[in-house]
Structures are given as C-alpha cells and as structure tokens.
A and B are shown apart, each in its own frame.
Chain A
C-alpha cells in the first residue's frame, strides 16, 4: 500500500477537451494516493501482450497469426474492401495497438488477396471529428493512401431491410464490395449492451445512422435494444458484403490477444466469456466500495474515463449486477435517464438509483461531446477550472452540466472541499492508469481485503448464471484466456 501511483494517461490536444496546459495537476499527484496493481487484486488476471517490451510488434505478430486462420474467399479479384473500425479502439493505451492491428489487417489483405483497394472507415460516437483526430495522430490517412475516413451518424444513410423492418446504415460504411469488422472486446458500455451480442453491436451503432442509434436508445427497451445490431448484421445486405471479424481482445490490464473468425457469432461467444470473466470481477469489486470521492481525470467524455480498465459509467451502475439480465435497468442507461421527471423523481417505482457510494465527483479533466448532465444532476460534482467549465457551457450536449456543478479554481481546492463535506477518505481516480488503479491508501486497503471474496463469487456463482442467461456453453470458460 506504499506503492507510488501509476502514471496516468496524458492529456490530449482535442477540440473536445481543454488545452492540456490547463491540466496543471493530476489526481495521481495528490498526497495520500497509491497505485494498486490489478494482478494484486486478481492474481489470475491474464498476461498481456500490450503494453509489453516488444511494443506494437506483438500486436502485428498476433494479428497475422489470427488472420492466418481466416478464409478470404469472399474477397474476389478487383474487389474494394472496407475495414470497418470504431473510435473506441483508439482510446485504449494511447491508441497504438488498435492502429497497428488495423495497419496489419490492411497489409495482410493486400498480400493474400487480389483486392483492388483496401480502405479504412472508422465509426464514431457523438464527437464527429474524434476519429479524424485519431486517424491523423496515428498516420492512418497516409498508411491507407488517403482512404481513411471517419464516418458519423448524421452522414448519408442507406436503408437496410431487416427482420425488424427498415433500419439505416451509413452509406460510406457499405460502399465497398466487401466489409471486414475490426473491433475490440472491451466491455466498456456494458450498462447499454449488457454483454449481449457485444461483438455485433457496432452494426447497430458505429456503422449505423442516427435513426438506428435512436431505435436502440429510445424505441426498444434496455435489453431488447441489443437485437437491433443482430437484425442488421443478419440482413441479406450486410451478409452479402461481410467477410470476417477481427478483434483486439482486451482485459482490464491491457491487450491479451488478437482473435479473428469468419463466424462472428463464434467470436461473440468467446468475447462474451472473456469479458465477463475479467471485467465482471473489476465491476463487482467497484460495487464493494461503500463510499468514495471519484476524480475524473482522462481525455474522454465523462462516462468514458477509465480506472482499473473500466469506465466511470460502470462505476455509476456498480451498485447492481450489470451482467445479470434479470435486472432490467442499470442505474445509468439512456432509458434510465429518460425515466426521471424534471424534479428528479422516478416515473415508476423500482428505477435503481445512481451508485450511492459515489459521494462526490471532482471533474479534474474530462471532455465534452457526450450528454453528461445526468451525472451532475445525480451526484454532487465539482468542476476544476473556469476554462473547462466554459468549454462545457459552449457544448450543445452539455449546456446544463454546469447548472448542477460547483466550480473550483484548482484540484487541491476541490479535494479539500470534497474531503470536508463527504467525510470520506476513500478516493478513486479515473485516469487511465495502465495495469492498475490509483486510489487513496484507505481505499487501496479496502479493495485488497475484499477482492478475494469477489474473485470467488464471480467465478463460482455469477459466471455460471451470466453464461446461462446468454445461452453460452460453460465449457468455453476454460477455453477462453
């Protein structure tokens, strides 16, 4: 518990965040903080291939090994090929491993097939230039010879006939003869997808028009919504173009493998098991925190800042079992958010509250570009720095965020107020520290004490229940690292 803190992810120049010069102090620099290794919490955390001393070479090698098992017969001579990617992949470990996987897929496909042109089409969320920023930062535009594009949900659409009726994809995702689905296995938005068809989800999101995304978040209900992506993927249109899928397999500690399959549903089962096995433990561990102050300190919008390999939105919902499909609503999803009236009262009984263990949030560094007012409405929030507050006041998705947040001049002042008013000495920092989590010493002690029970509960009781709910064979548990 006397370890030094782990280096947090650095601030990034982006139009969605304040200039890094305004991030003058990080949570990890505060007195009383320490780093806890994920392996100390869960000794069976899998070995990672990145970060590692060989750097991106490992990623290239594993990607090539995975691709060697793929049947490329779908790609005919003279075909155009779109590698479909998503912005989320670039948010892991500085984005280098995902970029290298994409580069390797391009090289391999060009080498092994007679494709005429291999392009990159990378989907994005609500920050319509974010993917463009990643493409430039990783030199992908040059690597793909000017054929690397960010595709946004408000771009031109294409109707796709499905068993749910007409849904809409993005025209530029499908403007090739063949598509390759290149994604990652991080559970990330488990509050939305509930680890149901996790590997299929981008067909209803990253590669989809606003109509389809709105169908997912407004029309279907919190669990049924996950069928939207499957309906699109199973459509004749998508199947006529689909070749194979390749995934960067993540654990909370980093990249553990690259997996590929022509059969997306086989890959999906492996992703489902791996995600539950490792992320399930971390999220359940967060649920064991009885009280804490959360520091947001990472270059991403509020719900997406990372700690211990999971995102803040997972912490917001950690007071229930997010993987248990018998719980209809997590404490945070967009369905949940709509189910409160203007005075903050639930419209029906049984809406689970935001994790009451979060006594206060100190917003030291997090981006705009995602509607985050819900978080400030439901948890006392202190924004650090006037510049960041002004950025939120200009963001069309966060015009009300600062109506519910206090403003502090600097991080020290914010923490002094947080300690005094919450009376807790437990602090967790969502700063993207790799391989561990930065916390206050009292919280480190608590996490180390309870993690063995969590390990046992997830492994012996919860995993069998979660897998049965998803009709996934228990045998896979031993096969997936």
Chain B
C-alpha cells in the first residue's frame, strides 16, 4: 500500500517533447503529442502515482511534483481466500508476509491479491498496490515473478522503459555455474531462500 501525496505537473514553456517522461512512467499516465509544431504533454492525474520518475529524468527540469489530497493505492487482501494468496506466493517463490517493495513496505500477500483481483500487467499492479511507485527498481522482479506464476505473459510496449523481462532466480542457476563457482554459495543461499519461502505464516 502506498499513500499518494504528490502529482506530477508539466511546465509547457520548458518542455521540448523528448518523451522521456512518458518512457519512464510506470503506469503510462503521460502522453506526448505535437500540436501546431509544438510539443504537448498531458499527464493523467487520475493515474499518476506520485513516483517522481518523470520529474527526476526530465532533461529540461520541466516537471514539478505538487501536493495533492493524499489517497491510498491498496488492494484489500481480506477479499480473497488466504489459501489462494498463499498458493500464488509460494508458486512465485515468496513468503506471503515478506516485503516485496522496500519503499512502501508492501508484502507479497498484497501483490498476490492484486494479481488475483485481475492485474495482468506491471502497470496494473502499480495502480492496484503502489508497489513500483517508489524507487521503481527493486520490486521489478517480484512483480514479474508474480505475473508469470499466475500465468500472465504481458507484452512489453516498445515505447516504454517501464520493464524489460523476468530474469533468473537462485532456483534456476545452471549446474555448470554452481559447480564452477562454489565461492558464491549458490546451494546454501538456495537453501536459505527455500526456508523463507516455505516458512509458516505467523499471525
């Protein structure tokens, strides 16, 4: 769960229409067009999740974050049978109660609930939970692992840097790599990760 407290606003005088803001937006809230030879950027405030990505990457410093009436991005896990949530978490190889987003302190169980509720793409997960609306970095793989575990294969939009693809996990490292590089402790770390994934849910 994330509380959105700021929204992005563009200063059209400074904007050159480079589309960087649209490329880095995690929820496709930005559209860039040309009107009468001039760039026109529109930010859909109803979708803006207050992540600051556009403000941080705009080369012209043309975007400001302005306070808004705070509201949550949250999926209520109590609306689903916890067994279903737990099953999806274990399939994605997460413990339901472990953190999957350091910025919002969101747990795997909420990510699972969002996917069960119909989120089929990374941007839908962000809008449903706020996961991915902080640093936008570390939750990248948890989101993709959950979507894959649920059987979804979202198609990557070429006009966005939002996400590229799921990468490997410690469970998938080849026997050759493990054998050739024992100093990296693949087997012991896999055992540790297994202990976490399979630990009971505590009240």
Contacts and interface: CB of A to CB of B under 8 A. Distances in A.
13 contacts: A154-B136, A163-B177, A164-B177, A215-B169, A220-B169, A223-B184, A227-B181, A347-B95, A371-B103, A394-B6, A396-B51, A397-B134, A470-B183
B141 A214 contact: yes
Contact of B97 (A126, A347, A393, A470): A347
Contact of B189 (A129, A221, A373, A469): A221
A340 B99 contact: yes
Contacts of B172: 165
Contacts of A470: 183
A396 B167 contact: no
Contacts of A347: 95, 97-98, 196, 199, 202
B140 A325 contact: no
A227 B184 contact: yes
A48 B44 CA distance: 54
A393 B70 CA distance: 12
Contact of B137 (A165, A166, A167, A214): A214
B196 A339 contact: yes
A214 B140 contact: yes
Interface string B58-95: 00000001010000000000000000000000000001
Given A152-B57, A339-B196, A345-B202, A215 B135 contact: no
A126 B138 CA distance: 10
Contact of B52 (A166, A222, A230, A396): A396
A271 B196 CA distance: 33
A218 B196 contact: no
A110 interface: no
B202 A328 contact: no
Given A165-B168, A211-B164, A399-B103, A218 B138 contact: yes
A394 B167 contact: no
The interface size bin for chain A is: 35 or more
A334 B99 CA distance: 9
A126 B167 CA distance: 21
- A-B pairs, 6 with minimum CB distance: A221-B189, A128-B56, A371-B102, A214-B140, A214-B141, A341-B97
Contacts of A399: 2-3, 5, 103-104, 134
A329 interface: yes
Contacts of B5: 393-394, 399
Given A209-B164, A215-B167, A215-B168, 19 more contacts: A154-B53, A164-B173, A165-B172, A210-B138, A217-B138, A219-B169, A222-B192, A224-B184, A230-B181, A337-B102, A338-B99, A339-B95, A342-B97, A347-B98, A347-B199, A371-B103, A373-B105, A396-B2, A396-B51
Interface in B176-196: 176-177, 181, 183-186, 188-190, 192-193, 195-196
A167 B172 CA distance: 14
A219 B170 contact: yes
Given A211-B164, A227-B184, A345-B202, A397 B135 contact: yes
Nearest to B6: A394
Nearest to A374: B102
Contacts of B139: 214, 218
Q: Most chain-B Cβ atoms within 10 A of its Cβ — which of A126, A219, A337?
A: A219
Contacts of B161: 154-157
A153 interface: yes
A298 interface: no
Contacts of A397: 102-103, 134-135
A313 B170 CA distance: 25
The interface size bin for chain B is: 35 or more
Nearest to A167: B167
A126 to B, nearest CB: 5
Contacts of A371: 102-103, 134-135, 138
A223 to B, nearest CB: 4
A159 interface: yes
Nearest to A155: B161
Interface in A124-182: 126, 128-129, 152-157, 159, 163-168
Q: Most chain-A Cβ atoms within 10 A of its Cβ — which of B57, B97, B135, B172?
A: B135
A156 B164 CA distance: 9
A224 B190 contact: yes
B114 interface: no
B154 interface: no
Contacts of A219: 141, 145, 167-170
Contact of A154 (B24, B104, B133, B177): B24
A156 B160 CA distance: 8
Contacts of B27: none
Contacts of B136: 153-154, 210
Given A155-B161, A156-B23, A334-B138, A212 B196 contact: no
A225 B169 CA distance: 9
Contact of A163 (B57, B174, B185): B174
B62 to A, nearest CB: 14
B97 A224 contact: no
Q: Most chain-A Cβ atoms within 10 A of its Cβ — which of B98, B168, B199?
A: B168
A268 to B, nearest CB: 12
A365 B171 CA distance: 41
Contacts of A156: 23, 161
Nearest to B142: A218
A327 to B, nearest CB: 11
A245 interface: no
A338 B196 CA distance: 10
A347 B53 CA distance: 33
Contacts of A214: 137-142, 167
Given A155-B161, A221-B193, A211 B183 contact: no
Nearest to B171: A219
A372 to B, nearest CB: 9
Nearest to B181: A227
B89 to A, nearest CB: 12
Contacts of B107: 341-342
